[in-house]
Amino acid sequence: QVQLQQWGAGLLKPSETLSLTCAVHGGSLSGYYWTWIRQPPGKGLEWIGEVSHSGYTHYNASLKSRVSISVDTSRNQFSLKVTSVTAADTAVYYCARAEWELSHWGQGTQVTVSS
Amino acid sequence: EIVLTQSPGTLSLSPGEGVTLSCRASQSISSAYLAWYQQRAGQAPRLLIYGASTRATGIPDRFSGSVSGTDFTLTINRLEPEDFAVYYCQQYGTSPRRSFGQGTKLEIK
C-alpha cells in the first residue's frame, strides 16, 4: 500500500525559500508523476507542479518563475522549493501521486509566511 | 485554458437525502481526464471517482459519476454523516496540465 509522508519547515519569513520533501513508501517512483498541490486558508486546491521519476517537470504558469520540483530516486523522495515567499504563499501544501487523477496524498504540511 | 466551474457553492441537506453536484468544463475534455475528490474538514483530499465514472478503491457504491458533453456530475445517494464535506472536480490536460474546480460544500441542514 502506497503511503506518502511529507515534511518541511512550517514557518518562514518573507523572501525566504520554502522547502518540502515527500517520501514514497510501499511503491516505486517509476510510472507516475509526483505532484505538489497547495490550499490557502479557507480556499480551494491549486496545482503547483509535478515531476516524473526521470526528472521531467511541469509547472503552473502562475508560479513557474519561483518553483522547482526535483526527484531523488535513490531515496524514493521528491521535493518542492518555492523562492521569495510572501504571505500569499501561506497554505497547506500536499504531495500526491499522479496519473490522470491524484490517487494517493500526503498528510499535508502547514506553511505560514509571516514577518 | 480549461476552467472547471462547480455548482452550487454550498448545499444544505439532511442525512439520508440524495444529491447531485455539477462540474462544468469551459471546453471539451476527455472523460478519462476528470476526477472527483472529497475533502473532510482538516484532512487531505481523497480520490472518489476517476475517468468521470469509475469509483476509486474502497469508495461506497452510493457515490457515482457521469458525464454529458462538458457537464460532469457526482451523485451521492443516501447521504451518511461522514459525507458532509467539500467536493472538488479536477481535470488533466495541457493548459494547464491540472486544475481544480472551486469546490462544493455539503453541509448538514
Q: How confident is the model at residue B31 (pLDDT cuts 50, 70, 90)?
A: confident
- Which chain A residue lies closest to B93 (C-alpha atoms)? A100
Q: Scanning the structure block, which residue is given the C-alpha cell 490536460? A: B93
Nearest Cα neighbor of A101 from B66, B1, B53 is B53
pLDDT attached to residue B95 = 75
Q: Scanning the structure block, which residue is given the C-alpha cell 502506497? A: A2
- In DSSP terms, B76 is beta-bridged to B19, B63
∠A5-A80-A41 over CA atoms, to 5°?
80
Q: Which residues of B touch A47 (CB under 8 A)?
A: 96-100
∠A72-A45-A112 over CA atoms, to 5°?
70
Task: Write the CB contacts of A31 (distance below 8 Å, at least 6 apart in sequence).
Answer: A53
Q: How confident is the model at residue A95 (pLDDT cuts 50, 70, 90)?
A: very high
Residue contact B44–A50, C-beta within 8 A: no
Nearest Cα neighbor of B106 from B74, B70, B60, B71 is B74
Residue contact B47–A101, C-beta within 8 A: yes
Residue contact B45–A102, C-beta within 8 A: yes
Q: Scanning the structure block, which residue is given the C-alpha cell 459519476? A: B65
The answer to whether the CB of A57 falls within 8 A of the CB of A49 is yes
Q: What is the 8-class DSSP label of residue A108?
A: -
Query: Which one of B92, B96, B103 has the shortest CB-CB distance to A100?
Result: B92
- Give the mean pLDDT of A57-85: 97
Q: Which residues of A touch B35 (CB under 8 A)?
A: 100-102
Residue contact A47–B37, C-beta within 8 A: no
Output the nine-digit C-alpha cell for A41.
486558508
- Which chain B residue lies closest to A4 (C-alpha atoms)? B44
Nearest Cα neighbor of B50 from B61, B37, B39 is B37
Query: Which of B2, B90, B98, B100 should one mutate to test binding to chain A, selecting the residue with the greatest count of A CBs within 10 A?
Result: B98
- Are β-strands B10-13 and B104-108 bridged in parallel, bridged antiparallel, or unpaired? parallel
pLDDT attached to residue B23 = 98
pLDDT of A71 strictly over 90: yes
Distance in Å, alpha carbon of B86 to nearest chain A alpha carbon: 9
- Are β-strands A11-12 and A109-113 bridged in parallel, bridged antiparallel, or unpaired? parallel
Residue contact A103–B47, C-beta within 8 A: yes
In chain A, the percentage of residues whose pLDDT exceeds 90 is 100
